[in-house]
């Protein structure tokens, strides 16, 4: 098992040694990493780079980082406009997802300012999914808009393992959209979500999911850490249940991990609020539910409990088997090998962590 950590100054790869986790190698030293993805079909590593001068770049490795190749960056078509009179240009690569076993070369790519791209040849060429780009809601600045960024962005893509034509995406800000025909058409599925920051909190479009994940063994169970709490659906997004711990800590945050065998287990890492992005009470904790969000337990053993200013971004918490790992905005990396019951600090001197995943 290897752990890939994308930071603002490079990609750090760890491996499990006899008694601890050790750095195997650092890649792209000094370069901000915007995305890290491992394709489970081929174990291909994908890395998005955010060059300060050259802009976004996509690299991949088919030999666990021993060599890297670069692919042409996706481009918005000539004439594409984010808003009338404002040309659309790629600002950031946020996420990637394989398109299912029936599409062996298929890859979905989520970007900012809100374009979804698709490749049929393992990322050698990407095309804008114009059916989503031209959705009437995207053209409305009151429905698709930036939150924490100047533009809306697609940060989560979920492919139904039972039907590769059934795909969900999550947009901040807009909400969750679903296609059942491989991307030919899209519809919002945000019933039950709350947009407390809008005059009408029950709008169809205008929500702010921070991260969305679906249970592989029970694909109709989908979780999301949202700007306005934690939500879960057990019916494929027909309606969402608010499972926020209103009297506890599991509420506002960015990161989310779930158990892909047990649909009732999930982990989040709380922050105080959008206005105060620090650990609650300046004490870092991970919250876990084992009953579908009916109750949450704060897990603190091994985590700093005094004067802790860490928060964890949306792609910076990962789980594989019994192992969880997360990186923080202050460059700390923590790991648990007992489902989060206890934690150890793997490193306290990384740059800001923006992405964590296992391979």
Predicted model pTM:
0.97
- For residues 273 and 62, give the distance between their C-alpha atoms in angstroms, rounded to a whole number: 40
At 108 the pLDDT is 99
Concatenating the DSSP letter of every residue in 113-163 gives TS-EEEESSTTSS-EE-HHHHT-TTTT-TTTS--SSSSS-EEEEEEE-TT-
- For residues 176 and 154, give the distance between their C-alpha atoms in angstroms, rounded to a whole number: 10
Longest dimension (CA), the chain: 58
Q: How many CB atoms lie within 10 A of CB 238?
A: 12
At 12 the pLDDT is 99
At 148 the pLDDT is 84
At 218 the pLDDT is 98
At 53 the pLDDT is 86
β-pairing, 69-71 vs 81-83, is unpaired
Query: What is the side-by-side order of every strand in the sheet holding 116-119?
Result: 92-98, 107-112, 116-119, 127-128
pLDDT digits (tens, 9 = 90+) for 16-49: 988 889 999 999 999 999 999 999 999 999 999 9
Residue ranges in the chain modelled with pLDDT below 50: none
pLDDT digits (tens, 9 = 90+) for 296-327: 999 999 999 999 999 999 999 999 999 999 99
- For residues 123 and 259, give the distance between their C-alpha atoms in angstroms, rounded to a whole number: 28
Cβ 314 vs Cβ 268: under 8 Å? no
């Amino acid at each position: 098992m290897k752990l890939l950590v994308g930071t603002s100054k490079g990609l750090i790869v760890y491996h499990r040694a006899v008694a601890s986790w050790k750095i195997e190698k650092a890649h792209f030293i000094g370069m901000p990493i915007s995305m890290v993805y491992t394709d489970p079909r081929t174990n291909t590593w994908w890395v998005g780079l955010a060059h300060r001068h050259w802009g976004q770049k996509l690299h991949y490795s088919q030999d666990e980082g021993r060599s890297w190749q670069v692919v042409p960056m996706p481009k918005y078509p000539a004439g594409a406009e984010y808003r009338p009179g404002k040309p659309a240009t790629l600002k950031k690569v946020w996420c990637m997802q394989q398109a299912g076993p029936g599409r062996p070369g298929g890859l979905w790519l989520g970007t900012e300012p809100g374009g979804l791209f698709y490749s049929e040849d393992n990322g050698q060429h990407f095309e804008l999914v114009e059916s989503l780009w031209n959705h009437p809601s995207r053209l409305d600045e009151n429905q698709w808009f930036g939150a924490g960024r100047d533009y809306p962005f697609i940060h989560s893509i979920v492919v139904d393992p039972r039907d590769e034509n059934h795909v969900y995406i999550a947009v901040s800000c807009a909400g969750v959209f679903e296609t059942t025909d491989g991307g030919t058409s899209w519809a919002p599925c945000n019933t039950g979500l709350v947009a407390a920051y809008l005059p009408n909190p029950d709008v169809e479009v205008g929500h702010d999911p921070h991260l969305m994940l679906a249970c592989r063994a029970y694909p109709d169970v989908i979780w999301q850490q949202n700007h306005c709490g934690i939500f879960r659906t057990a019916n494929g997004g027909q309606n969402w249940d608010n499972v926020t711990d209103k009297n506890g800590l599991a509420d506002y945050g960015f990161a989310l991990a779930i158990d892909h065998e047990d649909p009732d287990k999930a982990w989040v890492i709380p922050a105080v609020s959008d206005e105060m992005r620090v650990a609650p009470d300046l004490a870092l904790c991970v919250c876990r539910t084992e009953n579908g969000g009916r109750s949450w337990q704060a897990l603190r053993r091994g985590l700093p409990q005094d004067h802790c200013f860490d928060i964890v971004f949306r792609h910076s918490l990962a789980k594989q088997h019994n192992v969880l790992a997360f990186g923080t905005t202050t460059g700390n990396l923590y790991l648990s090998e007992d489902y989060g019951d206890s934690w150890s600090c793997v490193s306290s001197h990384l740059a800001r962590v923006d992405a964590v995943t296992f391979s």
